[in-house]
């Protein structure tokens, strides 16, 4: 995938904010037995998760992957959200996802080169303050891991500590999230939550935040 050129960015400290409350959390239906065990361990430890994904964003990713599954085509997109801090450690939220036209085959996917300017135009025009916190893509029928190419993408485009890769297999009904590690990459447990409103334009978001967010 061609590396987008960053024309401007703002660096800011993660805002101090409590993670989504336990009552709003739930495991993804497609977690493997091992991933579910890791989920339960985080929950019972009293620690917060590294990653919270809104049910809205999860639904978008799942339906995107499922739509192309019969033709065994891979899909991909960016995950948008925030990086927060709570009691000395950092966590990430995914509120929304964006994608664009794709050049896709059963084992490879990349953004259509001509479509990228449209994608970034959409992001700029959306009016919300977002951080690209990672990317998602599907592996229809071949389970969830990072291929050599995926790892290269992660290392060149998503090398910050908060950057996550979500891989979803809509045929085996499996989903995993990964981060870079010294050895290569590690699976990281995540939770779904009802407590994050989608990242929509600021006016609308403010209205929804008052109702939905803690
Ligand atoms: Zn892949």
List, as one string, the DSSP characters of 134-198.
Answer: EEEEE-TTS-S---HHHHHHHHHH--STT-EEEEEETTTTEEEEEEEETTEEEE--EEEESS---
In this predicted structure, what is the pLDDT of residue 162? Answer: 93
Rounded to whole angstroms, how far apart are CA atoms 60 and 54? Answer: 10
Q: Structure pTM? A: 0.84
Q: How many angstroms is it from 176 CA to the middle of ligand 1?
A: 12
Q: How many angstroms is it from 137 CA to the middle of ligand 1?
A: 7
Taking Cα atoms as reference points, which of 202, 131, 166, 203 lies closest to residue 53? 166
Q: How many angstroms is it from 170 CA to the middle of ligand 1?
A: 13
Percent of the chain with pLDDT over 90: 57
- In the chain, what are the helix, strand and coil shares in percent, each to the nearest 5? 30, 30, 40
Q: Please compute the mean of the pLDDT values over residues 151-178 and round it to a whole number.
A: 95
Q: How many angstroms is it from 108 CA to the middle of ligand 1?
A: 7
Tell me phi and psi for residue 89, to 5 degrees. -130, 160
pLDDT in tens, 49-65: 999 999 999 999 999 99
Rounded to whole angstroms, how far apart are CA atoms 116 and 118? Answer: 5
pLDDT in tens, 1-16: 555 555 666 666 788 9
* Domains (range + CATH), the chain: 50-205 (3.40.140.10)
Q: What angle do CA 107, 64, 110 make, to 5 degrees?
A: 40
């Amino acid at each position: 995938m061609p590396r987008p050129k960053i024309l401007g960015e703002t660096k800011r400290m993660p805002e101090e904010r409590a993670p989504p409350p336990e009552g709003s959390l739930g495991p993804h239906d497609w977690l493997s037995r091992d991933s579910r065990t890791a989920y339960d361990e985080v929950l019972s430890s009293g620690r917060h998760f590294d990653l919270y994904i809104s049910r809205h964003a999860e639904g978008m990713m799942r339906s995107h992957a499922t739509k192309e599954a019969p033709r065994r085509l891979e899909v991909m997109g960016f995950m948008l959200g925030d990086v927060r801090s709570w009691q000395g450690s950092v966590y990430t939220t995914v509120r929304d996802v964006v994608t664009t036209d794709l050049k896709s085959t059963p084992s490879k996917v990349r953004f259509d080169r001509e479509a990228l300017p449209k994608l970034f135009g959409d992001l700029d025009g959306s009016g919300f303050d977002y951080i690209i916190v990672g990317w998602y893509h599907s592996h229809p029928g071949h389970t969830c891991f990072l291929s050599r190419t995926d790892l290269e993408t992660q290392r060149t485009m998503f090398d910050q500590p908060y950057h996550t890769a979500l891989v979803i297999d809509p045929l085996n009904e499996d989903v995993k999230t990964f981060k870079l590690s010294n050895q290569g990459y590690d699976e990281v447990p995540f939770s779904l939550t009802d407590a994050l409103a989608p990242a929509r334009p600021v006016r609308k978001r403010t209205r929804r935040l008052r109702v939905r967010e803690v």
